Structure 1
Amino acid sequence: MFEVISIILVFGALVFFHELGHLVFAKRAGILCREFALGMGPKLSSFKRGETTYTLRLLPIGGFVRMAGEDPEVVKVNPGQEVGIQLEGGQITKIYTDRLKNYPQAEIISVENIDLDQKMFIEAYVDGELKRWKVHPQAIMVHQGQEVQIAPWNRQFGSKTIGQRAAAIFAGPAANFILAFILLTAMALSYGTPVNQPILGQISPGGPAEKAGLQQGDKIIRVNNKTVNTWEDIVAIVSKSPGEKVTFSLERNGKPMEISFVTETVDNVGKVGVYQPLSKDFMLSLKYGADTTWQFSTLIFKGLGMLVTGKVSMEELSGPVGIFNYTYEAAEKGVAMLLKWSAILSVNLGIMNLLPLPALDGGRLVFLFLEALRGRPVDPQKEGMVHFLGFAFLMLLILVITWNDIQRFFFS
């Protein structure tokens, strides 16, 4: 049960932080964010806070932030259309587009002219006279019983500077790197991070070190009369002495001691059954979180390079089924391994989304870069088609990789 809950929490956290990055920077830029969703497909539950509706959807395959202006407005009011309007302080605050008899509080008008984008007004004839009403910039459109806040041009994605739009897009992947750093730092604070000091860490039960009387915290001064200053110095001497007698000159509680014993041999390498010392120092934990996030990023980029050059085949890639399986195995090995694996997944999600491919955040950043070079945006219809085709290709790729996963895990 713990493993199943872990899978839900891990994937929920990865998507939540990614979309939260988009949401925070979009709101900072003044973009109207209509929905923050975890999952895809039909809604399971939702609540509204401020201008944004927060929803949980059925299919656990990603999430999204619905920003005004990224997609065409679903509800439009055209000249000649009959609508109901509701006024507050002389401004229109609600516009009813259908089922007008259900809203007796609304004034019914036949629209003559309308601008809900720039000038924010509606004109209609009342008693033979053309009358104009100002529309509140946060007015609500009611269509088929559903309320949708209108989006003036200055609240739409396209109205913002290239820098603001790029920040809103880049913030999603960036949040995944930040999440990885937080997870790794938390792991280091909870379980400790290795330090390169000549001090004994945990002693393995039944190993040569325990039998000889060595204790955790012993400070090693010399090994076989060779001065050691780091943990790596100890490992270098012991590993080259398989099955041989070694002498540790050490300090325990300020008292000098000398203990001799025989190492054991594992794959022709000398072992004594002692782990590297760990520290829960805050600054060291921060450093471990940053360094390990960077190391994971480097490894993933190397893997992508190997995929491009053909050194890694498509059959070796893992999709959703494989990732679920590995997450389950990580949860079985304990919280520390689960945190580390979650950090790897978070870095991977951040990097994958930054690839310059259509339908991904990286592809959208490419179009913003082209806009900066050209001095004008790419035709929205052409950009939309590129993203649609890219999304279709990605779905096909996921299906192929998922089929490989199923064959590997269930039929091999």
Structure 2
Amino acid sequence: MTTIIAFILVFGLLVFVHELGHLIFAKRAGMLAREFAIGFGPKIFSWMKNETLYTIRLLPIGGYVRVAGEDPEIVELKPGHHIGLEFNDKQEVTKIIVNNKSKHPYARVIEVESADLDHSLMIYGYEIGEEERLSFPVHEKAMYVMDETETQIAPYNRQFASKNKRQRAMQLFAGPMMNFLLALVLFFILALIQGVPADNAAVGTVQDGSAAQEAGIQSGDEITAIDGTPVQTWDEFTSIVRENPDKELEATIVRDGQEQQLMMTPALVENGDQKIGQIGVTLAMEKSFLGAIPYTFKQTWEFGTMIITNLGQLITGQLSIDALSGPVGIYDATDQVVKTGFINLIQWTALLSVNLGIVNLVPLPALDGGRLLFIGVEALRGRPVEPQKEAVVHFIGFALLMLLMIVVTWNDIQRLFL
């Protein structure tokens, strides 16, 4: 149960932050955000606020923000349609009753001749049985009513395509950007809780029964040299230890301002096909508010470069598709992390957030990076790609991504049960 709760909270947080970025910048640009969804599939519950329908859906495998103009409009008024109209005090149409007109006895029923709900916001038509052509101005926030469900119209100035390239690009980039910001916040919290690694080779903890304890090394000691070779960083120290298993080494340490020499013999440990030395110590952590700031950026950068390297290896074939994990694999990994404590869960969430941000920027159709690529093509050629062609590319890309998700999930299941 603990793992299930942790997985829902972690995955929900990542998706919520990502989609919140899209939502905030859509609204800042004046776009009509029809829906903000966490999950896919059937709605569990929903509520309406400030033009946007907020929904929690059954399948916790992602989320989306549905912006007007990204998909074909829900209702199209065609010549010959009979519709009902309701008006405000200014005689502007506020509701367009598409069906079930009998449930709206005060609606004015007309036969549509033509309608422009993108630019002029006008409906032209005739009273039933009359020949006089009438015109009806439409309020910019009028509602379609179909099957007693109301949906706000989307004039062109509220649609995604009406905004300039900078606004559209920012709305797409905002999701990954928010994931990077979340990672920074989580790494900063980690730094405040557990501190940041010391700049020098200072010992934090000493494992009971370890080679370090037998040599007399204590918490707080600073390693300054090994066998006369100066040591300035923890990496330099651990590198020498790893390369010298079962070999006696002279460690020069500083304790309480006094320099001492201690003899230690790193234990031989098998690490895959390698045999390395270990002495059983950890790096000292220092709690510093100012020091936490560069640490958060360094950690985010290091995790980011690692993920990009793995993606590059995947593309070049150096890394097999079997190495990928989907929701099932992430759940299993989360289960392992939860057992190691809350601190590691925060770090795991930060890593996933960086990963989600980078993967979404990969220039593949249906991903944010693929849509940003189309805006880049538009900037180069001076005009946008035809919406129909772009939609086909994104549809094919989405289908391929779903196929990849099925393959990855199947591999995850096989790893768990086979």
Same fold (TM over 0.5): yes
For 1:98 and 1:5, locate their aligned partners in 2 and report how far apart those are by CA, in whole Å: 43
- Corresponding residue number in structure 1 for 2:29: 29
Cα distance 1:174–1:227, how it changes in 2: closer, same or farther (>3 A)? closer
For 1:370 and 1:248, locate their aligned partners in 2 and report how far apart those are by CA, in whole Å: 60
- Corresponding residue number in structure 1 for 2:11: 11
For 1:401 and 1:274, locate their aligned partners in 2 and report how far apart those are by CA, in whole Å: 38
For 1:392 and 1:259, locate their aligned partners in 2 and report how far apart those are by CA, in whole Å: 65
- Of residues 337, 354, 368, the one that matches 1:361 is 368
For 2:232 and 2:321, locate their aligned partners in 1 and report how far apart those are by CA, in whole Å: 46
Does the alignment pair 1:292 with 2:293? Answer: no
Does the alignment pair 1:151 with 2:154? Answer: yes
> Is the contact made by 2:329 and 2:412 (CA closer than 8 Å) also made in structure 1?
yes
Cα offset for 1:211? 7.1
User: In percent, how many aligned pairs have the same letter?
Assistant: 48
For 1:376 and 1:398, locate their aligned partners in 2 and report how far apart those are by CA, in whole Å: 34
More displaced 10-residue stretch of structure 1: 273-282 or 215-224: 215-224
Letter in 2 for 1:56: I
Does the alignment pair 1:174 with 2:177? Answer: yes
RMSD: 2.7
Aligned to 1:376, what secondary structure does the other structure show? coil
Aligned to 1:367, what secondary structure does the other structure show? helix
Letter in 2 for 1:265: P
For 2:417 and 2:255, locate their aligned partners in 1 and report how far apart those are by CA, in whole Å: 53
For 2:238 and 2:306, locate their aligned partners in 1 and report how far apart those are by CA, in whole Å: 26
More displaced 10-residue stretch of structure 1: 2-11 or 82-91: 82-91
For 1:17 and 1:270, locate their aligned partners in 2 and report how far apart those are by CA, in whole Å: 41
For 2:225 and 2:306, locate their aligned partners in 1 and report how far apart those are by CA, in whole Å: 36
Letter in 1 for 2:48: K
- Corresponding residue number in structure 2 for 1:408: 415
> Is the contact made by 1:113 and 1:123 (CA closer than 8 Å) also made in structure 2?
yes
For 2:264 and 2:258, locate their aligned partners in 1 and report how far apart those are by CA, in whole Å: 18
TM superposition score normalised by structure 2: 0.88
Letter in 2 for 1:134: P
Does the alignment pair 1:313 with 2:312? Answer: no
Letter in 2 for 1:139: A
For 1:311 and 1:237, locate their aligned partners in 2 and report how far apart those are by CA, in whole Å: 30
More displaced 10-residue stretch of structure 1: 179-188 or 41-50: 179-188
- Corresponding residue number in structure 1 for 2:124: 123
Where do residues 230-249 of structure 1 align in structure 2 (5 Å cutoff)?
A: 242-243=247-248, 248-249=253-254
For 1:141 and 1:397, locate their aligned partners in 2 and report how far apart those are by CA, in whole Å: 38
Cα distance 1:396–1:132, how it changes in 2: closer, same or farther (>3 A)? same
Deviation string 1:40-99 (CA, Å, 9 cap, x unpaired) is 111000011111110001111111101000111111222332222222231222221111
Letter in 2 for 1:314: I
Does the alignment pair 1:376 with 2:383? Answer: yes
Cα offset for 1:223? 8.0
For 2:258 and 2:247, locate their aligned partners in 1 and report how far apart those are by CA, in whole Å: 23
Letter in 2 for 1:161: N
TM superposition score normalised by structure 1: 0.89
Cα offset for 1:229? 6.1
> Is the contact made by 1:222 and 1:250 (CA closer than 8 Å) also made in structure 2?
no
Where do residues 4-403 of structure 1 align in structure 2 (5 Å cutoff)?
A: 4-90=4-90, 91-125=92-126, 129-197=132-200, 199-207=202-210, 216-217=219-220, 242-243=247-248, 248-251=253-256, 262-267=263-268, 269=277, 271=279, 273-403=280-410
| Residue correspondences, number | 406
For 1:234 and 1:400, locate their aligned partners in 2 and report how far apart those are by CA, in whole Å: 43
Aligned to 1:298, what secondary structure does the other structure show? helix
More displaced 10-residue stretch of structure 1: 394-403 or 33-42: 394-403
Cα offset for 1:332? 1.4
Cα offset for 1:107? 2.5
